[in-house]
Structure 1
């Protein structure tokens, strides 16, 4: 059955491997996936450990529902202390790896130590071995996966791999699976590289027994109808996530030229319809691909139509690549967006961080903080397509002074560049912002400021705040499963009520990350998609675990608090510009210059923002400094951590 999946502790230094069951007590307290990973990280790393040292625990998991009959349960999660931020490192990706790992017998891996030479882990039906990766080291993401197929003589093997960026310890290197499924934030690829770990490969044919299979299938049909019937899902299935760009750029919600503007002009070539015209490669009868168990199929397949990389195959691009290699760097060419997307996929680099670092360097260059000597003669001005693609490669291989500096991440880079370059760095807790501009949306600004792994659109973002939903609809969403009778507003420029929305979304996203469900199948972009009231039934029919919506809410709160506890242990302080719940000063000091009438002139009012943070802390059970109250820890059963239950 699903609950038979094990946890493995792997020491790359000694070669020791220990396999243990996951006790029911632990399942009911943390469920699995990201939530149980947070518990494992807090319990298996020491305060102040070097993120790139052997004592940093690298944790890989699938949610408790992965490989079951529940829809869209393909999410793989990776967690460790981040080399980019020095705080919580965490990334989540789709594809086919997590189900394969479950079929191979495991839900969680805890990896410590450092291999003496390049290695990879192979898991096959309950057995684990550490294998030589000498002939794979140095290869790109897709070539690495093909090489593992050849090494094992099995094309059905699914692998998590790092590319050259991870090997070179780029602070925001990805963990990748498939062509473009990216565990992209916080540098988990660099942690793998520091351990001489090129990949984790899985092949499984072990049964996953479903508790009530007939009923689970019937209930999942309702799930599928609910998901595919939503207009947002239908749009994603046609245009992929680039559809978001079409709305947000025209409205004035994307940061452009680092943070100078909030709308990219003359950008028809990277609009979603244009990308859709180019993305005509097919696998079977469709040009849109999907992950295991998903009916939405939100990613396109394409070959770059022209230029230096003409004919190269890839998947996407995501909304994030339009921002990273379009808006942020001031480029309006589809070729640049597609080529940039392809390079970071092959090198194994976070597209958000890469685009943001290049955009920051461009503004520094135009402001006279960087010289041509420091850029090795590259004219690093906004809109220089060739410079963008050149810098992606330089960062990956740490070529030249600037390539090496940018590879360190934003805060260390700003210290190397010096002067007032830190002021231009659009980051929270050391992690670059998504390319969105939140000056007109206080709720989204609060979300990025308080995200557990740094600036984040996937930890607590109330994206539906932009839909102007009637208050009664908001009340129905945000009062389930816990009653809420406080203020709510349909106006996205308002401050009141937004802290509860962010708190609610934080728990919603933790729940799906612990279950193993894709966020696109809950209240992220679609207000009518499944939620707390649906998950107990899905959980029970597939695994036999009986929980109420309120109990799943409490699990999510507990897991989020563990992430907060880890960050506080590693130096998080409320108002610290490098490790705090604060925004770059430009959010408060520079009004938005472009866009719709409800955007132009907007900025985040500092005094009101501080009140929002206070309210958010109160909802979480923190004091004014962001530290958990003793009563909160006792309520959540966390007063004795680390408890070493597993």
Structure 2
């Protein structure tokens, strides 16, 4: 059955491999995926360890429901201490890899040590082998995957790889699988590069026994209907995630020219409909692709039509690519967005981070903080498409002084550049913000300030706050499975009640990531999509485990507290501008300049925001400094951590 999938401990220094079962107690307390990974990281990462050192464990996992009859459960999670933030590192990606890893016998890998030379892991039907990867080193993410298939003579192998950015220790390098599935945030590809680990390759045909297969299949039919009938998913199946960028830009919620504006003008060429036309023209009517077990198919397949990369195939671009390579640097050409999207997929680097840090450098250049002396003559100005593309190359290859500086991440770069460059860096905990602008949405601002891995739209964002849902509907959502009778507001510019929404969404997304489900199949963008009340049946039919909605909530809360405990242990402090639950001063001091009437002129109120953080901490059972109280740790069974249960 699904619960037979094992955990493997792999030491790349010694070559030792130890395979163990995952105790049922661990499943009940931490579920799997990201939740169990948080437990493993807290237990196996030494306090204060060097993110690029051999003692930093790289943890790779699938969720509890991965490779079962449940839809869209092939998310892969990767966790380690982050070389970008020196706090929690964590990323999540779609595709086919985690399902293949489960069929090969494993749900979790804990990889420590450092190989003397480049290696990759070959996992096949319960066996793990450390193989030479010298011939793969230097290859792009796509080429490396195809080369592994050729070497092992199996075109069905699924691999998780790094590209040149990871090899060159760019602190925000990705892990990748397939053409474009990227575990983008927090530099997990850099950790792999530091371990001389080029790839993890999997192939398996081991049975995954389903506890109640007929019921599981019948129940999944209902899930599919619930998921595909949602308008948000129908739109994604047509336009992909870029539709989110288009809607948000129209309203005035995307940061442009780093953080000078909150709406991109004259962006017709990169609007989602324009991108869809290009994908349709180059790939035909069936141009939308999906991950394993998914009915939504939210990403486009395309070929670049013009420029130096004309004819290159890729997938996407995602919502984030339109921001990173369109609105933030104020580049309006489809060729630029599609080419940059292709380059980051090949280099293996976080599109959000690299687009943001280049846009920051562009503002510094226009302010005179950076000059042509530092850029080696490059006119690093907003709207300079060629400069954007050139800086992607320079950062991923560390081929220039500025490229190397920016490859180290925003905070180290600001310390190297000096002057007042840090003031213009839009980051939380050392991780650059998504391209969205939260000055008109206090709930979303609270989300990015307090997210466990740094600025984040996928950790606790109450995106449905923008829908102006009636309070009665909000009450139904946010009072289950734990009763809540506090204030709620349908107004997205309001502050009251929002801390509970962020807290609720944080537990929801932890549960989603622990089960291995795609967020688009849960209450993320659609108020009618599955949440805590829907998951017990799908867990039971597929695994035989009995959870109540309250059990899942408790497990999610427990795992979120473990992530908090890890960050606190590694130096997080509430008001620390480098490692705290803070926002850049521009959120408070510079009003929005464009957009709808409910956006123009908006800033975040410092005093009200501080009260929101107090309330958010209170919902968690944390003190005013954001530290879990003894009572909270006792209630969640975390008083004895690290316990080394697994």
Shared fold, TM over 0.5: yes
Q: Cα distance, 1:280 vs. partner? A: 2.3
Q: Any conservation in 2 of the 1:75–1:95 contact (CA below 8 Å)?
A: yes
Could you tell me how far apart the structure 2 residues matched to 1:614 and 1:282 are?
52
Q: Any conservation in 2 of the 1:212–1:542 contact (CA below 8 Å)?
A: yes
Q: Cα distance, 1:36 vs. partner? A: 0.2
1:154 aligned residue: 154
Q: Any conservation in 1 of the 2:213–2:541 contact (CA below 8 Å)?
A: yes
1:279-290 aligned within 5 A: 279-280=279-280, 286-290=286-290
1:589 aligned residue: 589
RMSD of aligned residue pairs (Cα, Å): 0.8
Deviation string 1:225-268 (CA, Å, 9 cap, x unpaired) is: 00000000000000000001111001100000000000001101
Structure 1, 75-84 or 278-287: larger mean CA deviation: 278-287
1:130 aligned residue: 130
Could you tell me how far apart the structure 2 residues matched to 1:289 and 1:51 are?
35
Could you tell me how far apart the structure 2 residues matched to 1:393 and 1:52 are?
23
Deviation string 1:193-223 (CA, Å, 9 cap, x unpaired) is: 0000000000010000000000000000000
Q: Any conservation in 2 of the 1:281–1:287 contact (CA below 8 Å)?
A: no
1:210 paired to 2:210: yes
Q: Cα distance, 1:491 vs. partner? A: 0.2
1:59-458 aligned within 5 A: 59-280=59-280, 286-458=286-458
Could you tell me how far apart the structure 2 residues matched to 1:335 and 1:386 are?
11
1:12 paired to 2:23: no
Deviation string 1:530-572 (CA, Å, 9 cap, x unpaired) is: 1100100000000000010000000000000000000000000
Could you tell me how far apart the structure 2 residues matched to 1:49 and 1:406 are?
23
Q: Cα distance, 1:371 vs. partner? A: 1.1
SS at match of 1:392: helix
Deviation string 1:379-412 (CA, Å, 9 cap, x unpaired) is: 0000000000000010000011100000000000
Count of matched residue positions in the alignment of Structure 1 and Structure 2: 646
Could you tell me how far apart the structure 1 residues matched to 2:161 and 2:283 are?
23
Report the TM-score when normalising by structure 2. 0.99
Structure 1, 478-487 or 282-291: larger mean CA deviation: 282-291
1:552 aligned residue: 552
Q: Any conservation in 2 of the 1:283–1:289 contact (CA below 8 Å)?
A: no
Distance 1:114 1:284, change over 3 A: farther
Q: Cα distance, 1:98 vs. partner? A: 0.3
Could you tell me how far apart the structure 1 residues matched to 2:455 and 2:425 are?
12
Moved over 3 A (4+): 281-285
SS at match of 1:279: helix
Q: Any conservation in 1 of the 2:123–2:129 contact (CA below 8 Å)?
A: yes
Could you tell me how far apart the structure 2 residues matched to 1:33 and 1:416 are?
37
Q: Any conservation in 2 of the 1:174–1:189 contact (CA below 8 Å)?
A: yes
1:500 aligned residue: 500
Report the TM-score when normalising by structure 1. 0.99
Could you tell me how far apart the structure 2 residues matched to 1:338 and 1:479 are?
42
SS at match of 1:280: helix
Could you tell me how far apart the structure 2 residues matched to 1:15 and 1:157 are?
23
* Structure 1 unaligned regions, length at least 5: none
SS at match of 2:314: strand
1:599 aligned residue: 599
* Structure 2 unaligned regions, length at least 5: none
